[in-house]
Structure 1
């Protein structure tokens, strides 16, 4: 039997966060976006005591981001390839008490925002985490599911059964 995906609020090993890495994708000032994500990471890793894995999508930014968080022992900077920072939608869903994760095809929110690398985020996170991925052929965003850890999953037809995702 496959281990369930834990509830959103359940304890977990690490929180994956995407670092704003491409100024051309932001409709607001790029530095402001980085400052806001820094505030989130500091709240998670500091008072929240989360282990944060901070994926940086531009190799030339990695050292500067490491220096920015050098005072926090539980922030790990992970070089990666992605366009959008919303890793909740592009990454895998980890199973409870296991080193496995469910991965799905991603098509840029129904081809609305297709950005290079977003379709490979689940694989990158799986490799870095040492998690075996079980690939599912249907298209979806991880954030389109709400799960309670007991096997109940809530979603909408618009997210999963839309013609620009799955017929």
Structure 2
């Protein structure tokens, strides 16, 4: 990727957010998690003016979530496949103005939380956004990198 990576706090062309879709992972906290993510999405799309792509991980709740966000500007509800909502770790990294995005292999945080579909998130985001991916043949979690938009990267 030759384009600089925007700062974490800079406006983005779109912000991808995972919807808590799996009752079997959230148990009694599912409704609370959904309310929290809804608040985040509404803040990003409203006052934040971000274009939000809200990925839903289970087809049987897609219509319910579409209805929940009906009429909310800047929010697009997208069907997908994932286990964990932390798309920051599983999705690709876009450069500023880049026509491609960098993608990496994902191994469920070292095998601790290997959830079906998490290794497919980057490809789904690339396909939906029409952005070709440059696949890197090593394991990485995108959330382990923090960018300042000027070429400095902090990592764990």
TM-score scaled by length of structure 1: 0.89
Runs of 4+ residues over 3 Å off in structure 1: none
Structure 1 counterpart of 2:141: 141
Contact 1:99/1:130 (<8 A) preserved: no
SS of equivalent residue, structure 2 residue 83: coil
Distance 1:107 1:82 in 2: 13
Q: Where in structure 1 are there 5+ consecutive unaligned residues?
A: 157-167
Q: Match for residue 26 of structure 1? A: 26
Give the length in aligned residue pairs. Answer: 156
Q: Residue by residue, what CA displacement relative to the aligned partner does 1:18-61 show, whole Å, maximum 9, x if unpaired?
A: 00110111155211111111111111112222111000000111
Higher RCO (Cα < 8 Å, 6 or more apart)? 2
Q: Does 1:12 align with 2:4?
A: no
Pair 1:122 & 2:155 matched: no
Cα deviation code 1:40-91 (max 9, x no counterpart): 1111112222111000000111111010011202110000000000100000
Within 5 A, what are the aligned runs for 1:55-74?
55-74=55-74
Counterpart of 2:51 in structure 1 is 51
Structure 2's unaligned 5+ residue stretches are none
Task: Provide the aligned C-alpha RMSD in A.
Answer: 1.3
